[in-house]
């Protein structure tokens, strides 16, 4: 069962119930909370981005993010001992998953820019960080959350073996600037798993093209999606930023939108 807040609660855009696809991803992190605590957690968060499995497979948050199954092959089952950085974490699903898979230290950062597009898209006002906090409490998690802009990551003064950069490169004004700061935070032998918006045009795939989106083109009333990338354009940006390149792992269409995921290694 999932509890969604829909038209009856005055949302501008319907929040779908999680399908089997979202539940399959959520089930990788079974939280197993007491049902009353799980319900309280759901109620205190006005909108969820990620779908979480709260009480062993019957109660799920109604996350607005759709079908992340294509990301799973890019995530190692065993992260024992690694230092992991999750950039643009939102509710933190991937940071908590890294912790559950054995990471020694996980830092999750977000500048909470999502408050603007959640407000314009759904008419919901978030304080910022409430979904992350609710799940951290249920899990008794040690993941460290920082409200921080990705361009200020150097203030962390530590380096990471694995950096997760999901769903954010197309939302920043300077993609090359973001890749350069990620490169500086990477430990020797480390890698970045990068997921972003694609171009959805097979004639462009082999070219170093970057699609510039119309405001609201990708999600209605969300003016913060600026770019779509090909594997070739990501590879060139990666090399400008000091990586060896971008290795594409998958470029699926999800919910009618092109996505691309791959690895940046040094």
CB of 134 to ligand SAM, least distance (A): 15
**Which residue, among 230, 246, 81, has the nearest Cα to 162 in the 3D structure?**
81
Alpha carbon distance 27, 9 (integer Å) = 27
Contact between 141 and ligand SAM (CB under 6 A)? Answer: no
CB of 192 to ligand SAM, least distance (A): 13
Contact between 171 and ligand SAM (CB under 6 A)? Answer: yes
CB under 8 Å, gap of 24 or more: what pairs does 1-7 form? 1/58, 1/59, 1/60, 2/51, 2/59, 2/60, 2/61, 2/62, 3/39, 3/42, 3/43, 3/59, 3/61, 3/62, 4/62, 5/46, 5/47, 5/62
Q: At what angle do helices 130-139 and 93-100 cross, to 10 degrees?
A: 20
Give the footprint of ligand SAM on residues 21-40 (CB under 6 A): none
User: Pattern of binders to ligand SAM over 175-214, x per CB under 6 A?
Assistant: ----------------------------------------
User: Pattern of binders to ligand SAM over 67-96, x per CB under 6 A?
Assistant: ---------------------xxx------
Instruction: Name residue, tokens 């006002």.
Output: 125
CB of 188 to ligand SAM, least distance (A): 25
- Please select the residue that binds ligand SAM; options are 17, 27, 149, 205, rule is CB under 6 A: 149
- Please select the residue that binds ligand SAM; options are 110, 133, 161, 235, rule is CB under 6 A: 110
Give the pair of three-digit tokens for residue 117.
Answer: 């597009």
CB of 34 to ligand SAM, least distance (A): 26
């Amino acid at each position: 069962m999932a509890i969604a807040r829909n038209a009856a609660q005055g949302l501008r855009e319907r929040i779908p119930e999680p399908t089997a696809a979202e539940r399959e991803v959520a089930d990788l992190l079974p939280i197993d909370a007491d049902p009353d605590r799980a319900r309280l957690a759901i109620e205190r968060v006005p909108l969820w981005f990620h779908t979480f499995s709260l009480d062993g497979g019957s109660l799920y948050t109604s996350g607005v993010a759709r079908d992340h199954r294509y990301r799973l092959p890019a995530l190692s089952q065993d992260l024992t001992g690694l230092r992991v950085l999750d950039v643009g974490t939102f509710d933190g699903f991937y940071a908590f998953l890294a912790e559950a898979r054995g990471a020694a230290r996980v830092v999750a950062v977000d500048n909470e820019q999502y408050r603007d597009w959640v407000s314009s898209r759904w008419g919901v006002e978030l304080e910022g960080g409430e979904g992350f906090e609710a799940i951290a409490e249920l899990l008794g998690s040690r993941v460290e959350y920082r409200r921080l802009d990705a361009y200020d990551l150097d203030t962390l003064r530590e380096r990471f073996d694995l950096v997760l950069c999901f769903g954010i490169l197309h939302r920043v004004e300077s993609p090359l600037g973001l890749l350069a700061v990620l490169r500086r935070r990477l430990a020797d032998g480390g890698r970045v798993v990068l997921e972003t918006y694609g171009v959805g045009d097979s004639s462009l795939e082999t070219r170093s093209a970057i699609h510039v989106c119309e405001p609201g083109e990708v999600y209605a009333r969300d003016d913060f999606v600026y770019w779509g990338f090909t594997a070739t354009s990501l590879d060139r940006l990666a090399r400008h930023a000091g990586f060896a390149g971008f290795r594409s792992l998958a470029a699926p269409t999800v919910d009618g939108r092109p996505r691309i995921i791959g690895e940046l290694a040094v």
